[in-house]
Chains A and B, each alone.
Chain A
Amino acid sequence: MDLMIESLPRLLNATKLTIELTLLSLFFGIFVGVFFAILRTGKNKFFYYIAYYYSYIFRGTPLLVQIFIIYFGLGQVEWIRESFLWIVLKEPYSCAILAFTLNTGAYSSEIFRSAFETINKGVLEAAKGLGLNKVHTFFKIKLPIAIRQSLPAYGNEMILMLKGTSLASTVTLLDLTGVAKYIISTTFRPVEVFIVAGGIYLIMTFIIHNFIKYLEKRFSYPQ
């Protein structure tokens, strides 16, 4: 019991890193996701396939493999170490965010793609009829509807990303899971640490869940 209280401050301190990693990755991931979703729903075959394979690869391989390739794999390549890419790839922090962003970008692109595709054709025809050009249609009509459609699935993705950040601990970053593991391996009391660290994750999950519910209410329009 006292281990749980004792370890709490250290775990809470590490939670800051977890939150940072999650928010930054989700933020960048949205842009990546929207970008590839547009490519997927566009008419250009070449871009369609680029988006298709990007999504296939990043959803079909474990996040652990992705982060290892970026951090350990690319880190051993001579010419990368001498190029400007090294600015990002040198630090585990940016490597982790890169890996997480690419990963969530792939899942997000699927969510947004399906949201774009299921927009009622009637709405789009109405927009055309009203003389709105492509850009206008996209930002004023498609995007808001797509956002509303995606909320439940995207909420799920946010929780998956939160869990995904735990893999940062495999590349030297001391996030909540990393510190939890350290405490477990020095005190040999896995259950107590699991309860506290797991509890913190569950609280964050709960917050995300309720945030999405709130957004769903706010963005809903009378049917």
Chain B
Amino acid sequence: MSMFKKTILIIFASLLLTANVLAEKVKIGTEGAYPPWNAKDESGKLIGFEIELANWLCIYMEHDCTIVEQDWDGMIPALLMRKFDAIMAGMSITAERQKTITFSQGYADEVAQLAVMKGSDLEGMDTPSGINLSLGGSDVKSALETLTGVLAGKSVCVQTATIHQNFLDSGDVGKINVRTYKTQDEVNLDLAAGRCDAALAAAVSFTDYAEKSGKPVVLVGPTFSGGAFGSGVGVGIRQAGDDAIGQRDAQLLKDFNKAIDTARANGKISELAIKWFGFDASM
């Protein structure tokens, strides 16, 4: 080996001293900032619906799992860079994301809804209680028209890189002043501070915030599902490939699907959902 190559190799060897080579364990990435899906308690420990579900699935799959924290906006890059092997972070299955990664079947679902502070003039919107964008139809159309009119020129806050942001950017509700934030927590803070006319996120995350903070946050408008909102929350896994790791990923996908089937059949998902969401959000 030439002197040059040797030197470069030494530099990389020293970098490796601080690196970990992936073994047979399975690492699962989560945000830890999206209650009740995943969050942290006062001592900084990860808790939430997905934490418990992940642990159960891992025991069933007989894998040695560790749950790793990751900022939401770096979630998919971190998966691709193999910082972990699966994502369980309240990530909805969408066609856009499926271009880069693959998903297990959905294990739970959430509906999105707009939230405002009590007393806002957006309260009392004349829309159906829920619309499914995948189904389409005249009442979806008229609901979207009502929303476009009501939200015109208003500021709506969302977490960045979410289905909620995609929906607002899609033009289905016309031109709105979309404000993006790193975490749902920041969205909640600015909503409460009066900086946003409204916010869009999973309905449960607003009810969770209202409960914990005592702020008068009110859900308004229809619940959203389908279309840009994806088809449920699933486990994000790297797409299968030809190399060793790619094969492992394909197997991991099969394992997760089998485990989710079992968890659904024996009611485990429903049980955890009722515990964390207050209702059966399983799918």
Contacts and interface: CB of A to CB of B under 8 A. Distances in A.
The reply to whether chain A is a binding partner of chain B is: yes
Contacts of A75: 189-190, 193, 195
B193 A76 contact: yes
A61 interface: no
A90 to B, nearest CB: 6
Interface string B73-105: 110110010000000000000001000100000
Nearest to B182: A170
A172 B180 contact: yes
B193 A172 contact: no
Interface size on B, as a range, is 20 to 34
Contacts, number: 37
B207 interface: no
Contacts of B74: 185
B60 interface: no
A173 B100 CA distance: 27
A45 interface: no
Interface size on A, as a range, is 10 to 19
B76 A72 contact: no
Interface string A128-172: 000000000000000000000000000000000000000000101
A49 to B, nearest CB: 34
B179 A92 contact: yes
A132 to B, nearest CB: 51
Contacts of A81: 193-194
A170 B157 CA distance: 14
A90 B192 CA distance: 12
Interface string A28-55: 0000000000000000000000000000
B77 A185 contact: yes
A150 B6 CA distance: 49
Which of B76, B189, B194, B195 neighbours the largest number of chain A CB atoms within 10 Å of its CB?
A: B195
A186 B96 CA distance: 9
B9 interface: no
A188 interface: yes
Nearest to A95: B195
A90 B182 CA distance: 18
B56 to A, nearest CB: 31
Interface string A69-87: 0001001100001000000
Contacts of A170: 182
Contact of B189 (A72, A182, A188): A72
A91 B193 CA distance: 11
A188 B195 contact: no
A10 to B, nearest CB: 12
Given A81-B194, A90-B195, A172-B157, 9 more contacts: A75-B189, A76-B189, A91-B195, A174-B180, A185-B76, A185-B77, A185-B161, A188-B76, A188-B77
Interface of A: 72, 75-76, 81, 90-92, 170, 172, 174, 181-182, 185-186, 188
22 contacts: A72-B186, A75-B189, A75-B195, A76-B189, A81-B194, A90-B194, A90-B195, A91-B195, A170-B182, A172-B179, A172-B181, A174-B180, A181-B73, A182-B160, A182-B161, A182-B180, A185-B74, A185-B77, A185-B161, A186-B96, A188-B80, A188-B100
